[in-house]
Amino acid sequence: MGKVLSANLGYPRIGEKREWKKALEQFWTGNLSKDVFLNTVRKLRLSYLKKQKQIGVDLIPVGDFSLYDHVLDTAVLFGLIPKRFQTGEKEISLETYFSIARGNKNAEASEMTKWFNTNYHYIVPEISNDTLPYITHNRLLDLFIEAKEELGLITKPVILGPITLLKLSKGYDAAHFSTLLDELLPLYVRVLNELREAGAEWVQIDEPILVKEQTNEDLAAFSRAYQVIKDGVPGLKLLLQTYFEAVDDYQAAVRLPVDGIGLDFVYGKEANLSAIRTFGFPEDKVLAAGVIDGRNIWKTNLAATLDELQTLLSAVKYHEKLWVTPSSSLLHVPVTVSNESELDPLLLNALSFADEKLSEIVTLAKGLNESAAAVDGAIQKSISDLKALQQSAHRNNQEVEKELAQLSSELPARPSSYQLRQQIQADTFNLPPLPTTTIGSFPQTKEVRQARRHLRRGEWNEEKYEQFIKDETAKWIQIQEEIGIDVLVHGEFERNDMVEYFGEKLGGFAFTRFGWVQSYGSRCVKPPLIFGDVSWGAPMTVKMSAYAQSLTDKPVKGMLTGPVTIYNWSFVRNDISQADVFNQIALALKKEVHALEEADIRMIQVDEPALREGLPLKEAKKPVYLHDAVYAFRLATSFVNNDTQIHTHMCYSEFDEIIDTIDALDTDVISIEAARSHGEIISTFEDFKYKKGIGLGVYDIHSPRIPSTEEMKSYAERALKVLDPKVVWINPDCGLKTRRPEETIPALKHMVKAAHEVRNELSNRVSK
């Protein structure tokens, strides 16, 4: 009898203590030479492989490691370089690679957007109709040989598939898709043949786009593409990997000419299981069963999961035709629980990060290959650990349960229409046309980070820390006034992260020390754990907002993170519905909004940058999610007075399909990015006549370059072709915490100058 194999789909890049991030940033600032940098990341990469081997994983991936982003890696591999970054070099230099992602003094960075419905961001490949793909350098081959020679491992190379690569790209006409695919396929064949010749046995080709609705034309393209690849690479086994949802076109997918299919049995569990029960599974293929949650951090109930795997084993008939895998790459979870020494054991025992998930996978494979009795200790521990948390007081807060029970099914509503509110607020604030503001945060300098560290280590007391924060706030209020910004912010110097800060002050949250995950590039976030019922205890933001307002006659916005973003940027309990968690958070934020209003903060920004990213991938599931998101936002904000102006902010999302939802939030002002997408978002408003306030993000804060006044004016002028000047605001496209003061201040000066120039042009037009 053959053996069920344990397999990983992808491992976190960042290191247990963000060693990868630190090396990247030192290289970018010139504090690490190229050779030292490359050697550092090489050691990290090999250590990740070694660890997976020690855990006992049978099939370990390579190619999942990246210096920035795996989509960018694939685009660069095939020579899909934006024209503004082309230098004539065949092998793309590290400098060009990072310029595409981050921009440089001469060119804007490529667009960045969400990776499906996750909080990971990828660099959007840019392809024109006349692009001719070519192989720059077979990086996958290097990585495969490195693992083989250094560690004696025959790994499983991972590459983003051609259909997903093209579907996620921009710049070419839809009619040109087939031609581009025909040009790419021989290049994939060549890359894979070189891997086969080097000794690779399996290659994982990721096609997550397959879980989205496919047309007959799409399915035909899949069939054609994989027939070309299979015919061109005899002897190499191909695993077609999907994740994040179920495959709608199951029968078409399992007929594809590949040797294995990877399916998600966590987020696509019901539909994928139903398809297998109804249609069976091909005897000539391997089923890579994604039964361990690759996107959340809870321990798996090993007893229930082993039962599910027994069902799948019956469907595939032979042990060697089943692999146990995570539901997706483990890129989306922290590295290991082993460094968390400060958590309540009740919670700690219920957690499973990347390393622990791999151990669970190895345990389940052993249970299938030997018997459940062989892993009974691990099974019983998983059950008891999860049960202890479920029965704890953290998940049985009667006051929160009572508040939820009293909620009406009707959408909460503002006291008056937007038209009336707009007039009242215009009289209240007396702002100029095209008012300028920022999104909320200002640079978190080395001194700010050190102050937080001093407090955490007990080197400073609360009084000294608070005075430091007040001094920083006062400094930046003065800077904003000198620049000439119309609506100010306090800068958020007291906040480590826009979600973590609130989680630290709300009940039901917990925090890790090293639970970091990659968001984009070197930007890592440490999501809170929503493990219990969420509750509000005392004002969280009033003191600093009120202090900032006392320093100026200009309005200062109170700054909150919205309920859906707090949910989507946290690791969330999975024992109650998403709507219930949304509403628990919203009820807590409602009390904070009320406290700000009581303190005479008349502009309150409740940010929802993650609303779009949580949108389900299946059309049938979207309406419920969007309704629940709108309900929660309005639950938190709709009770305020007409002269309190509610703002929100969203970034790096495709808004077209949720513009009705954005309108339904009924905010007074929404700010969006316009620069990173090179103004493309503005086209959304050509079709949808948005009549509420809208702030245009006229420069990309994720790039160190300082855009010119003319560049920012161009975005504003384009927007004014489709938007009423009375509703338009001018702002950066996101918070400025990651930028340095010497980048931030000149850019804001250019932004204000651009607003003034466009404002004057509008005034001259009216006077004529």
DSSP 491: B
* Number of Cβ within a 10 Å radius of residue 513: 12
pLDDT confidence bin for 113, thresholds 50/70/90: confident
Counting Cα atoms < 13 Å in the Cβ hemisphere of 233 gives: 31
Closest listed residue to residue 617, CA positions, set 74, 72, 159, 244: 244
Residue type, 655: F
Higher pLDDT, 13 or 721: 13
* pLDDT(403) > 70: yes
Q: What is the predicted pLDDT for the residue at 88?
A: 85
Rounded distance, CA 364 to CA 507, Å?
35
Q: Decide if pLDDT at 720 tops 60.
A: yes
**Distance (Å, rounded) from C-alpha 35 to C-alpha 145?**
20
CA–CA separation, 176 and 252 (whole Å): 24
Confidence of residue 182 (pLDDT cuts 50, 70, 90): very high
Q: What is the pLDDT of residue 654?
A: 61
Contact 532, 397 (CB under 8 A): yes
Measure the CA–CA gap between 585 and 599, rounded to whole angstroms: 21
- Residues flagged as binding site: 18-21, 114, 439-441, 492, 523-524, 569, 607, 613, 649, 651, 673, 734
CATH assignment, 418-767: 3.20.20.210
Binding residue ranges for 5-methyltetrahydropteroyltri-L-glutamate: 18-21, 114, 523-524, 569, 613
Q: Using one digit for the tens of pLDDT, what is the confidence trace for 415-451?
A: 999 999 999 999 999 999 999 999 999 999 999 999 9
Angle at 682 between CA 677 and CA 670, to 5 degrees: 95
pLDDT digits (tens, 9 = 90+) for 60-74: 999 999 999 999 999
Give residue 368's pLDDT band: very low, low, confident or very high (50, 70, 90): very high
pLDDT at 497: 82
Q: According to the model, what pLDDT value does residue 684 have?
A: 67
Confidence tier at 677 by pLDDT (50, 70, 90): low
DSSP H or E stretch at residue 397? none
Residues in binding site for L-homocysteine: 439-441, 492, 607
- Position 606: which residue type? V
The whole-angstrom separation of Cα 292 and Cα 570 is 18
Q: Is the pLDDT of residue 338 over 90?
A: yes
Q: Which residues are catalytic?
A: 702
Helix then strand then coil, in percent of the chain rounded to 5, is 50, 15, 40
Task: Tell me the C-alpha distance between 515 and 576, whole Å.
Answer: 23
DSSP 104: B
Question: CA 655, 657, 662, 665 torsion: positive or negative?
Answer: negative
> Is residue 683 predicted with pLDDT exceeding 80?
no
Q: Give the number of other Cβ atoms within 10 Å of residue 662's Cβ.
A: 25
Q: Give the other-Cβ count within 10 Å of 308's Cβ.
A: 15
Name which of 127, 202, 153, 131 is nearest 46 in CA terms.
153
Average pLDDT over residues 222-248: 97
Q: How far is CA 653 from CA 98, 475, 515, 719, in A?
A: 22, 33, 25, 17
AA letter at 436: T
Binding site, annotated residues for L-methionine: 439-441, 492, 607
- Distance CA(68)–CA(83), nearest Å, equals 20
**Alpha helices of 560-683 — where are they, by DSSP H?**
563-568, 578-598, 622-637, 659-664
pLDDT, one tens digit per residue, over 611-647 is: 888 889 999 999 999 999 999 999 999 999 999 999 9
Under the banding of pLDDT at 50, 70 and 90, the label for residue 105 is confident
Each residue's pLDDT tens digit, 257-312: 999 999 999 999 999 999 999 999 999 999 999 999 999 999 999 999 999 999 99
User: How far, in Å, CA of 324 to CA of 191, rounded?
Assistant: 27
Q: Which residues of 668-677 are buried (b: 16+ CB within 10 A; e: fewer)?
A: bbbbbbbbbb
pLDDT reading at 679 higher than 60: no
Question: What are the residues whose beta carbons fall under 8 Å from the beta carbon of 172, sequence distance 6 or more?
Answer: 127, 128, 129, 131, 180
Dihedral angle, C-alpha 89, 92, 96, 101, nearest 10 °: 140
Do the Cβ atoms of 276 and 312 come closer than 8 Å? Answer: yes
The structure tokens listed for 366 are 């052993």
Residues 558-562, mean pLDDT to the nearest whole number: 97
Gyration radius (Cα) of the chain, Å: 26
- What is residue 686's predicted lDDT score, i.e. its pLDDT? 66
Both tokens of residue 683?
């086209």
Q: Reduce the DSSP state of residue 564 to 3 states and report it.
A: helix
Distance in angstroms (rounded) separating the CA atoms of residues 608 and 562: 5
From 456-470, 540-554, 573-587, 709-723, the region with the lowest mean pLDDT: 709-723
765 alpha carbon, distance to own chain's centre: 43
725: its two tokens? 């000047």
Please state, in angstroms and rounded to a whole number, the distance separating the CA atoms of residues 700 and 113. Answer: 13
Conformation bin of residue 81: beta by default, left when phi > 0, alpha when psi is -120 to 50: beta
> Is the Cα dihedral 646, 718, 750, 103 positive or negative?
positive
Quote the percentage of the chain above a pLDDT of 90.
85
- Residue 651, C-beta contacts closer than 8 angstroms, at least 6 positions apart: 609, 672, 673, 697, 733, 734
**pLDDT bracket for residue 682 (50, 70, 90):** low
Flag whether pLDDT at 685 surpasses 90: no
| SS3 assignment, position 468 | helix
Could you read off the pLDDT of 641-654 as tens digits, one per residue?
Answer: 999 999 999 875 56
d(CA 263, CA 410): 38
- What pLDDT is recorded for position 717? 87
Which residues define the annotated binding site for Zn(2+)?
Answer: 649, 651, 673, 734
Is residue 297 a contact partner of residue 515, using CB atoms and an 8 Å limit? yes
According to the model, what pLDDT value does residue 129 have?
87
pLDDT digit string, tens, across residues 186-197: 999 999 999 999
- Give the angle 425-429-433 at the CA atoms, nearest 5°: 90
What are the residue ranges spanned by the domains of the chain? 418-767
Residue 473 has pLDDT above 80, yes or no: yes
| Assigned token pair, 255 | 């007929």
Q: With beta carbons less than 8 A apart as the criterion, state whether 40 and 23 touch.
A: yes
Average pLDDT, the chain: 94
CA nearest to 313, candidates 304, 303, 297, 324: 324
**Which tens digits make up the pLDDT trace of 16-43?**
999 999 999 999 999 999 999 999 999 9
